[in-house]
Structure 1
Amino acid sequence: MCGIIGYLGKNEASPILLESLRRLEYRGYDSAGITTIHNGKLFVKKAAGRLVNLADLLVKEPIRGKIGIGHTRWATHGKATTINAHPQSSNNVSVVHNGIIENYKEIKKHLIEEGYVFRSETDTEVIPLLCQKFLDQGFSYTDSVHQTVDLLKGQYAICFLFENNDDLIFLARSGSPLVIGHSGSTMYVASDALALAGLTKEITYLEDGDTAAVSREGTTIFDKSHKEVHRSKTFVSINAIDLQKGGFKHYMLKEIHEQPKALTKSIQTVISENWLDEASVSNLPFDEIEGVNLLGCGTAEYACMIASYWFENLAKLPGRTEIASEFKYRDPIIKPTDLSIFVSQSGETADTLSALRYVIKNNGHNLSILNNLASTMAKEGAYSLPIHADLEISVASTKAFTCQLVVLAGLALEFGKIRKTLSREEYEQYRAALLNLPGYINIILDLSEDIRKIAQFLTECPNALFIGRGLMFPTALEGALKLKEISYIHAEGMAAGELKHGPISLIERTFPTIVLAPSDYLFDKTKSNMEEIQSRNGPIILLSDAEGIDDVGEDVDFSLTLPKVHPLFAPIIYTIPLQLLAYHSGVIKGLDVDNPRHLAKSVTVE
């Protein structure tokens, strides 16, 4: 959600800023812009819509300068227009900003009363005008920034440029991530290390409350009390080649096909004998835990729902799934015997981070499952486990979701072993079942053309329903979310048994139902629900194994035969065709499947 880039070096800034912004497109945005300084003057170019609009503008109206900042904006305050795009500027200050300034109306009112003029509808514009006020009063760049951020409430990552100073980018961070890249006398700034791939591998992560003055000579960092402080440099391994599509038409398709490899890495980790020791999680008081709270947003929440079944089945631990965005508002009780598990691909999801901070404040045991161990959640939480999904660029989560499930399954198995709810033989059987999953996924990937034909039918329908029982219920929720995200087809997922309690009234010939029904102990009940839909002329798309397909026969509109898998791990396998179904539906409709409208990869505002 929103992307920031800054450059300070010997080369022209515009092309570097533009290329780095392209690497941040996956975060989601609806406008873009850059500011450079040349001969002491600020030059700003902005455009609504996709980044190509800004690129075209810069071809027609190029701007020079060897220092600059850039931004891709995801609208929160004010429509997605050029005037609301970032950078936002005053006479002598230009700013890009991620996050939300919660008290902007109060600040704006005072500034207007003092004669400062606003041009946009954004909360961001108060930042350059407030900083301008302190500059007008004679304060230094450093003091002006510090006085500005002291008055801001909310969360933010901010880059400041100042007219007549082509050797300074000032930074401020509170809640939203911000990194500094080092490459000799060339300096970079970004909201995400991914933007710096191929430019530098030497990174400094700013901590919450930090500000920093970045020049060609180096960086001076201040903590939240504005005292100078040292922050160590780290090395990142993202290469420019990681950003390529590898022969696939879209990142989403590439990442779907990367799942056998990604899951193999995750599975090999969680079945190794001492994996929790290696991840520094062994100090967690496993034997004291009597209940598990699982928290996430969107796809991560559905991973939590699936995992709650595993913790109860394998470890006999009560598992409760929580929507992270709602968690703290009901003032939940945090028991000393509870473990709260937070699931986030980025580790920066604002709602999940807020819930984590609530648990920390209430002295609760906490563990985060992340794809980024340099993230805020990893730094603030007590324990973290990596999912080993590697880089995921497409906005819709695919391989990160299945890798999250693998790590959650591995954790549930460890609890079962420690609590002695699993025999050694059962434990080994489950680990062996996990090892089979990548091979099964390869089989499903070969069904892509069959799935595309089903997608062709789906795209002719305005709505779709996904149903399942047991573990297939949260899997249905995830399938519906993917179809909504990627194809813009209205879709709902629900427990199959809930159909007769109202939703069945929607069924008609143009309202297909995707039925998730592996041939397990719930198959007959799901089959009965499917027959209820058929009796009302509703089209059926059945996903099952060979045994289930044979049982139903040819009484469905479409069927897809999936490998027979251990029932507990069926969600991981049944998710793959649902990802492909959403992907093909979006492609058939001619949509941008990697960057769906209005969505962002990392949601860094509450």
Structure 2
Amino acid sequence: MCGIVGYIGTKEKRDFLIHGLKELEYRGYDSAGIAVLKEGEISSFKATGKLSNLDHKTENFSSSGFGLGIGHTRWATHGKPTEANAHPHWGEFSYIIHNGIIENYKEIKDELLKEGITFLSQTDTEVAVHLFEKNVRELGDCFKAFEKTIASLHGAYAILLITKKAPDVIFFAKNAVPLLLGRSPEHEVYFSSSDAPLIGHVNEVVYLEDGEYGWVEKNAITLIKNNTKQHLDFKPLTHDKLSAQKDGYRYFMEKEIYEQSIVVGETLMGRIKENTIVLDELSHIDFSAIDAIKICACGTSYHAALSACYMFERLSKIRTNVEIASEFRYKEPLLDPKTLFIVISQSGETADTLEALKMAKRGGMPTLAICNVDNSSIVRTADATILTRAGIEKGVASTKAFATQVITLWLLSLYVAQIKECIAPERLNEEISALLKIPLVLKVNEQTHEKIRRLSKRYLHGHGFFFIGRDLFYPLALEGALKLKEISYLHAEGYPAGEMKHGPIALADSELFTIALMPKNLLYDKMKSNVEELGARDSTLLIISPEPFDLADDFIKTNAHTHMMGEFFEMMLITQLLALEISIRLGNDVDMPRNLAKSVTVE
């Protein structure tokens, strides 16, 4: 989920590009770069790590007077987060920035390599700039060359391109990835991935549609779709930066729930190729020397770890156990160098998890971090890292970080299964097919959200909630209960459904709300029996399932899925929305719940 900005005009380009990228840094912060074209010459700067590194690198650069500028902040998809892989990418006379993924880049690259073109990066983006320059040489016209280039690209993209061959023009294209074009009263033109960088610079914007492309010159904007010029439909731009950052959502948490479809797609990018899981980050780990896995985490990340435990043993056929980091540190654990030690953290700064990681390293264990923040303490300490690519998560109660952690762990479990050759090709294909459908599963259905909003008014009292599930849905029940208690301040507990009769069912009455996760593809009949036991004790039942349930007091119908993980992620979405709507009705600050912080850096 990268971010891009662009500008054509007479003002200082560097200032807008850097400040615009700061507004987009939540979309990616493993590297960043800018390029400015002025008086026929292009100046380019790139830096790895956070945007402050690029800011420092360009602090003495000035670019006032008429010119063009483009900037990019990156989450790595193709290629590691290095300066060579940072944008902009260049050819002989052109520079490009790109958000998205070019699905047919391999075919294009192979053709260009045959023609002797040299590539400097591992990215899919670089093929587009070389293809453009090839088309310029053949057609002798930059505008026709750009049209031909865009027609050759398959996939998702927001592209800005500048070239010395047309020094007063920014070329742009948009498909399945956001891109806005803004116009100032002075007739300057700005580009951005979202509203926020444009506030204070423009009064009106065009929200480009899929398949649109064109170019901006000093005094003209050309917009094309399906080879036909389009009318520029400018709309007023909000002047509220916080509102712009929320993209119209009431809370950041709500926005982040809706973003899960996008960020999970980003998490998968470049990691599935030709029915194979590709995790280049782990190429130096010798899995033949590993006979067990231990996972350590806290809070929401601990629930993701519990989910992974089921997947590693089921798919990878490797013994796996999970520990809460704050407990692991003080139990005098046995540290086996043949056990892969995995830590999970959204921030990469979780104190207990970091100390557990250091203990594992001192004990000679190979270590792996699943993390959302590159260059964080945990990432720097671990032997290897898989970044989850969730982008900045402003809501304290984690949503999209949890989704991307579970997806990453699912990928990892399949990768280990491949390495160990313990999964049949047919099963692997089924798992990959299911993985690729999850971004669609995570698209929020507005009707379902409205039903949850209306239903939430019945769940504002009582003496507590039971979230129950079995197998993989037990960790999801724990996570659903945590979300509710974090932001609503209502008491909620997650339980394995089969444990109800071993004590907790004593609490069951009409003022106890049971949220039952009842997937069709996993232990449905067992769950049905457990729920019937609670119904017989007069517990109020909210059933989440594709199958109607006679005893349900409330019922949220999920879609039919052929794989249990499709059900897992749809039910995750529903429990997040339920917690959100209950909290809003109670008048709580959803994004900043009391007593909590986003990154827990103390014991």
TM-score over 0.5 (shorter chain): yes
Normalising by structure 1, we get a TM-score of 0.59
Listed as ranges, the matches of 1:337-356 within 5 Å are 337-356=338-357
Answering whether residue 581 of structure 2 is matched by residue 584 of structure 1, we say yes
Q: CA deviation at 1:238?
A: 11
Match of 1:372 in 2: 373
Partner of 2:136: none
How much has 1:323 moved relative to structure 2? 0.4
Deviation for aligned residue 1:256: 0.3
Q: Output the CA distance in 1 between the equivalents of 2:377 and 2:428.
A: 34
How far apart are the structure 2 equivalents of 1:519 and 1:568?
11
Once residues 581 and 250 of structure 2 are traced to their aligned partners in structure 1, the CA distance between those partners, rounded to angstroms, is 12
Match of 1:560 among 551, 556, 559: 556
Matches of 1:482 and 1:576 in 2, distance apart? 11
Residues 270, 407 of structure 1: 8 Å contact kept: no
The aligned counterpart of 1:363 is: 364
Q: Secondary structure at the match of 2:413?
A: helix
TM-score normalized with structure 2 length: 0.60
Which digits, 9 at most, give the CA deviation of each residue in 1:432-480, with x for residues without a partner? 1111112122254541011112321111333111011111111100000
Residue 263 of structure 2 aligns with an amino acid whose one-letter code is: A
1:96 maps to which residue?
none
Distance in 2 of aligned mates of 1:431 and 1:201: 29
- Separation in 2, partners of 1:518, 1:425: 23
Distance 1:334 1:425 in 2: 36
Distance in 2, matches of 1:201 and 1:258, equals 18
- Indicate if the aligned counterparts of 1:479 and 1:493 stay in contact, CA closer than 8 A: yes
CA distance in 2, matches of 1:349, 1:267: 25
Say whether the 8 Å CA contact 1:487–1:586 is kept in structure 2: yes
Paired position in structure 1 for 2:406: 405
- For the structure 1 residues 272 and 262, does the alpha-carbon distance in structure 2 shift closer, same or farther, using more than 3 Å as the test? same
The one-letter code of the counterpart of 2:268 is: I
Q: By how many angstroms is 1:521 displaced?
A: 4.2
Aligned counterparts of 1:481 and 1:429: Cα–Cα separation in 2: 31
Partner of 1:414: 415
Q: Is the 8 A contact 2:441 2:566 kept in 1?
A: no
For structure 2, list consecutive stretches of 5 or more residues without a partner in the other structure: 1-18, 27-49, 61-71, 75-191, 198-240
Q: Deviations over 1:155-191 (max 9, x none)?
A: xxxxxxxxxxxxxxxxxxxxxx9x889558989xxxx
After superposition, the Cα gap between the structure-2 partners of 1:529 and 1:382, relative to the gap in structure 1 and judged at 3 Å, is: same
CA offsets 1:397-433 (integer angstroms, 9 cap, x no match): 1011000111100000011111111111211110011
1:571 matched to 2:572:
no
Cα distance in 2 for residues equivalent to 1:263 and 1:201: 18
Which amino acid in the other structure matches residue 353 of structure 1?
Answer: L
For 1:352-409, what per-residue CA distance to the aligned partner results, in whole angstroms no more than 9, with x for missing partners? 1011000011110110011111101111110000111112111011011000111100
Q: Which residue of 1 aligns with 2:233?
A: none
Give me the whole-angstrom Cα distance separating, in 2, the residues matched to 1:278 and 1:302.
Answer: 23
Aligned residue pairs, count = 384
- Provide the C-alpha distance between the structure 1 equivalents of 2:278 and 2:519, rounded to a whole number of angstroms: 36
Check 1:582–1:299 CA distance in 2 against 1; reply closer, same or farther (3 A cut). Answer: same
Unaligned runs of 5+ in 1: 1-18, 27-176, 188-199, 203-236
Asked if structure 1 preserves the Cα contact closer than 8 Å seen for 2:277 and 2:411, the reply is: no
SS in 2 for 1:508: coil
* Greater relative contact order (Cα < 8 A, sep 6+): 1
Match of 1:442, SS?
coil
1:570 positional shift: 3.3
Q: 1:248 to 1:348 in 2, by over 3 A?
A: same
Q: 1:521 to 1:180 in 2, by over 3 A?
A: closer
Q: Residue 446 and residue 420 in structure 1: after superposition, are their counterparts in 2 closer, same or farther (change >3 A)?
A: farther
- Structure 2 match to 1:299: 300
Return the offset for 1:286: 1.5
Structure 1 range deviating more: 353-362 or 267-276: 267-276
> 2:594 and 2:475 mapped to 1: Cα distance?
24
User: Shift of the alpha carbon at 1:519?
Assistant: 1.2
Q: Is the 8 A contact 2:518 2:544 kept in 1?
A: yes
The answer as to whether partners of 1:292 and 1:339 remain within 8 angstroms in 2 is yes
The question of whether the paired residues in 2 share the 8 Å contact of 1:417 and 1:424 is answered with no
Equivalent runs, 1:168-567 vs 2, <5 Å: 183=56, 241=197, 244-272=245-273, 279-442=280-443, 444=445, 446-545=447-546, 548-549=547-548, 552-553=549-550, 555-565=551-561, 566-567=563-564
CA distance in 1, matches of 2:453, 2:558: 15
Distance 1:183 1:352 in 2: 32
Residue 191 (structure 1) aligns with: none
1:453–1:283 CA distance, 2 compared to 1 (3 A): same
- State whether residues 277 and 414 of structure 2, in contact with CA within 8 Å, keep that contact through their aligned partners in structure 1: no
Query: For the structure 1 residues 439 and 445, does the alpha-carbon distance in structure 2 shift closer, same or farther, using more than 3 Å as the test?
Result: farther
Aligned to 2:367, the other structure's residue is in SS state strand
- 1:276 Cα deviation (Å)? 7.6
Superposition deviation, residue 569 in structure 1:
5.0
Tell me, in whole angstroms, the C-alpha distance in 2 between the residues paired with 1:274 and 1:430. 10
Moved over 2 A (4+): 179-187, 237-243, 267-270, 272-280, 443-446, 568-573
Give the AA of the match of 1:580: L
Structure 2 vs 1, CA of residues 537 and 376 (structure 1 numbering), >3 Å: closer, same or farther?
A: same
Q: Which stretch shifts more, 458-467 or 393-402?
A: 458-467
2:601 corresponds to which residue? 604
Contact 2:252 2:394 in 1 (8 A): yes
Amino acid paired to 2:552: V
2:278·2:415 contact (CA, 8 Å) conserved in 1?
no
Residues 1:541 and 1:317: Cα distance change in structure 2 (over 3 Å): same
* Equivalent residues in 2 for 1:77-96, closer than 5 Å: none
Residue 513 of structure 1: SS of its match in structure 2?
strand
Moved more, 327-336 or 471-480: 327-336
Structure 1 residues 508 and 331 mapped into 2: Cα distance closer, same or farther (>3 Å)? same
In structure 2, relative to structure 1, the CA distance for the partners of 1:431 and 1:455 (3 Å cut) is same
Cα deviations across residues 523-554 of structure 1 (Å, max 9, x unaligned)? Answer: 11111111111111111000011xx22xx23x
Preserved contact between residue 463 and residue 511 of structure 1 (Cα < 8 Å): yes
Contact 2:370 2:388 in 1 (8 A): yes
Whole-Å separation in 1 of the counterparts to 2:375 and 2:539: 48
Whole-angstrom distance in 2 between the partners of 1:519 and 1:201:
42
Q: Give the conservation status (yes or no) of the 8 Å contact 1:181–1:201.
A: no
Q: What one-letter code is carried by the residue in structure 1 that aligns with 2:572?
A: T
The answer on whether the counterparts of 1:260 and 1:438 sit within 8 Å (CA) in structure 2 is: yes
Q: Deviations over 1:299-327 (max 9, x none)?
A: 00000000000000001111101101111
